[in-house]
């Protein structure tokens, strides 16, 4: 049964050194929550003062025991093969709420996004209070251009003119903080996007404007992009991602109202994100 109480005790944030997790740790810590930051390689140097750093691997649930001890809530990302052991450890530690960061594809392309789907099912069946965040593509994916834009003022991507409403990871973190701390988001599945679709060509131009210098955009073929992405992503993820980037459904192209519904303000635009992150491309 859902426990309709706010969370005032410790919150465990997995993926705490990532784009979303880092922002979430900061937000929760600023809100006065005790926070434990988990990632495989996290150290005290990675977290704000007062936050506990607990290095652990989501693929090895028993190693999470120390991090989970005394916590009330868990921010979980899709990592490791099987979420059941992690959720069992969370329950036996007394954690009562879990907020899962999943992918929009779990809803729009369940066959290709089986792994996030497995995590969603496990969270729903866990007996914990749950909220699922289905993120669309994130603005931080543009950091893949950081090196080529810094070095040569060049950006390459497939499907140059296909628009998607990329979400600012700070907005994903802010929605996660709301769901972790408040009691109004139990059993909700939110789709998180930015306010408007932008194409890769437009995103390169937006970064150029933030830099005050031109950036040359080159369109890759799907085969080129497939070969490059296969170096660091498993095959189903490459295929699922390329399908969304190149042949998005109407739903995947449509901005979702959920960020604004939860935060009571409009989601940040790609231009906002690029302006804040221009130094990464200098
Ligand atoms: N980028 C997108 O467009 C997009 C869209 C939808 C959903 N998502 C989801 O959002 C998640 C977070 O995105 P992000 O940009 O914040 O990711 P990110 O910057 O790549 O960071 C990933 C974080 O997770 C940690 N991590 C990875 N594997 C782990 C494991 N086995 N055990 C414990 N910690 C682990 C990493 O630290 P260590 O390496 O030190 O462990 C790091 O802190 C992604 O993992 C993905 O599932 C992303």
Tell me, what's the pLDDT at 1? 39
Residue entry with tokens 């991090």: 67
pLDDT tens-digit map of 35-54: 999 999 999 999 999 999 99
Pick the residue whose CA is nearest to atom 34 on ligand 1: 39
Other residues' Cβ atoms within 10 Å of the Cβ of residue 278:
14
Pick the residue whose CA is nearest to atom 29 on ligand 1: 79
The residues lining ligand 1, judged by C-beta closer than 6 Å to any ligand atom, are: 14-21, 39-41, 57-59, 77-80, 101, 103, 135, 137-138, 140-141, 169
Tell me, what's the pLDDT at 9? 78
pLDDT tens-digit map of 57-115: 999 999 999 999 999 999 999 999 999 999 999 999 999 999 999 999 999 999 889 99
Tell me, what's the pLDDT at 8? 77
pTM given for the model:
0.97
Summarize the confidence of residues 117-123 as an average pLDDT.
98
Q: Are 172 and 135 in contact (CB under 8 A)?
A: yes
Residue 122 clears pLDDT 50, i.e. is over it: yes
Measured distance CA(259)–CA(63) in Å, rounded: 33
Other residues' Cβ atoms within 10 Å of the Cβ of residue 270:
22
Summarize the confidence of residues 215-234 as an average pLDDT.
96
Tell me, what's the pLDDT at 5? 62
Residue 234 clears pLDDT 90, i.e. is over it: no
Q: Which of 71, 83, 177, 183 is nearest to 123 (CA)?
A: 83
């Amino acid at each position: 049964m859902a426990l309709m109480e706010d969370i005032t005790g410790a919150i465990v944030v997995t993926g705490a050194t990532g784009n979303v997790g880092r922002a979430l740790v900061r937000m929760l810590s600023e809100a006065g929550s005790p926070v434990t930051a988990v990632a495989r390689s996290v150290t005290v140097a990675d977290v704000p003062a007062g936050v506990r750093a607990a290095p652990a691997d989501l693929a090895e649930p028993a190693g999470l025991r120390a991090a989970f001890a005394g916590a009330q809530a868990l921010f979980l990302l899709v990592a490791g093969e099987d979420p059941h052991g992690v959720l069992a450890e969370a329950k036996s530690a007394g954690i009562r709420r879990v907020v899962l960061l999943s992918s929009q594809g779990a809803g729009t392309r369940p066959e290709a996004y089986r792994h996030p789907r497995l995590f969603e099912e496990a969270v729903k069946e866990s007996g914990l209070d749950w909220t699922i965040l289905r993120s669309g593509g994130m603005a931080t994916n543009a950091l893949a251009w950081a090196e080529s834009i810094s070095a040569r003022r060049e950006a390459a991507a497939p499907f140059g003119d296909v628009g998607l409403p990329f979400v600012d990871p700070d907005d994903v973190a802010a929605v996660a903080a709301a769901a972790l701390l408040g009691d109004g988001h139990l059993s909700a599945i939110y789709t998180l996007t930015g306010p408007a679709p932008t194409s890769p060509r437009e995103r390169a131009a937006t970064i150029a404007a933030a830099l005050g210098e031109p950036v040359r955009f080159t369109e890759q073929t799907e085969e080129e992009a497939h070969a490059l992405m296969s170096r660091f992503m498993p095959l189903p993820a490459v295929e699922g991602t390329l399908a969304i980037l190149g042949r998005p459904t109407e739903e995947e192209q449509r901005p979702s109202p959920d960020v604004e519904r939860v935060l009571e303000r409009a989601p940040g635009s790609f231009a906002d994100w690029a302006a804040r992150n221009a130094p990464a491309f200098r």
